[in-house]
Amino acid sequence: MPELPEVETVVRGLNDTVAGRTIVRVRTNAPKTSIVTGKSFGKNSFSSILKNKTILNVTRRGKNILFELSGDITLWAHLKMTGRFLYLDSKIPVDKHDLAIFDFDKKSVGYHLRFNDVRRFGRLRLFANDQLWQQPGLAKLGPEPFDISLEEFIRLFRSSSRMVKPALLDQSFMAGIGNIYADESLYFSKIHPRKLTNKISKRKLTELRLHINKILKKAIKHMGSSVDNYAGVNGKPGTYQKYLKAYGKSGEPCSRCRTKIIREVIGSRAAHYCPRCQQA
């Protein structure tokens, strides 16, 4: 699943391509669950609401993508497993997994935006701005890793007694981190994924916060990790996967101590870690 660095890369790609553009037509070919419109729009369709709306800006909150539109409405997108936004030559034949196609004013002539989703867990949702932040999925998001101070970070970890790996994956604990960057951050900080959040020392929490920041920033610089079908708006995969030290490396030697990285299910998700280095 795309995580903070991948979603941030997509958001930057969208700002480079479609921000400032006015939508002239939207075609959808999506199951009902993929596209949701808020109650305030009544029976108006997704396509009719979006017609003639201008994309003012595109922002990110956690793994959520927010298209701020004229008319005080927001298109809220979540890529989930395989969702992708692709800015493509409109002559490229439509794919059966293109669930929505956005055509723009003449400044975009020859190109349009597609929301493509093979597994169809992704969501496109439209809400009036005054309804948006009450929606489940946005209302209870935890802090952004780049915004949280060390004091707040320590308080957050002290406030619960749960295993650190599942805590990092919980979007209401902290927003934006998923399996890849949780495994990598714990590896670099030498923290065992089962360690309880309130039992991690202040020194280790200081390191963890620094590593989370450093790893996410480096991954953004490399346009994210493409370990599945993830690609940026330009269709290009990310390259951070070549820097991964723990995620997906089970059976390979630890880069520090040469002990084999192990894969273990913790809190229903696979965790990858070095059993020798990550004991704290």
One residue of 219, 254, 272, 273 binding Zn ion per CB under 5 A:
254
The nearest distance, CB 169 to Zn ion, in angstroms, is 22
Residue 3 identity (one-letter amino acid):
E
Window 36-75: residues binding Zn ion (CB under 5 A): none
Q: What is the 3-state secondary structure (H, E, C) of the chain?
A: CCCHHHHHHHHHHHHHHCCCCEEEEEEECCCHHHEEECHHHCCCCHHHHHCCCEEEEEEEECCEEEEEECCCEEEEEECCCCEEEEEEECCCCCCCCEEEEEEECHHHCCEEEEEEECCCCCEEEEEEHHHHCCCCCCCCCCCCCCCCCHHHHHHHHHCCCCEHHHHHHCCCCCCCCCHHHHHHHHHHHCCCCCCEHHHCCHHHHHHHHHHHHHHHHHHHHCCCCCCCCCCCCCCCCCCHHHHCCCCCCCCCECCCCCCECEEEEECCEEEEECCCCCCC
- Residue 276 as a binder of Zn ion (CB under 5 A): the answer is yes
Q: Which of 3, 6, 8, 207 does the annotation list as catalytic?
A: 3
Q: Which of 12, 80, 263, 269 does the annotation list as catalytic?
A: 269
Window 211-250: residues binding Zn ion (CB under 5 A): none
The nearest distance, CB 257 to Zn ion, in angstroms, is 3
- Please count the residues of this chain forming the interface with Zn ion, following the rule CB under 5 A: 7
Whether 3 is catalytic: yes
Whether 269 is catalytic: yes
One residue of 97, 194, 256, 263 binding Zn ion per CB under 5 A:
256
Would you say 138 or 246 has its CB closer to Zn ion? Answer: 246
Would you say 150 or 257 has its CB closer to Zn ion? Answer: 257
The nearest distance, CB 273 to Zn ion, in angstroms, is 9
Q: Which of 21, 63, 165, 209 does the annotation list as catalytic?
A: 63
CA dist 93 and 191 (Å) reads: 48
Residue 217: CA atoms inside 13 Å, Cβ hemisphere, count?
9
The span of 68-76, 96-104, 177-185, 258-266 binding Zn ion (CB under 5 A) equals 258-266
Would you say 109 or 257 has its CB closer to Zn ion? Answer: 257
- Give the residue carrying structure tokens 């003449």: 106
Whether 236 is catalytic: no
The span of 30-38, 169-177, 243-251, 253-261 binding Zn ion (CB under 5 A) equals 253-261
Would you say 222 or 256 has its CB closer to Zn ion? Answer: 256
One residue of 198, 252, 257, 279 binding Zn ion per CB under 5 A:
257
Whether 27 is catalytic: no
Q: Which residues are catalytic?
A: 2-3, 63, 269
Site residues (vs Zn ion, CB under 5 A) = 254, 256-257, 259, 274, 276-277
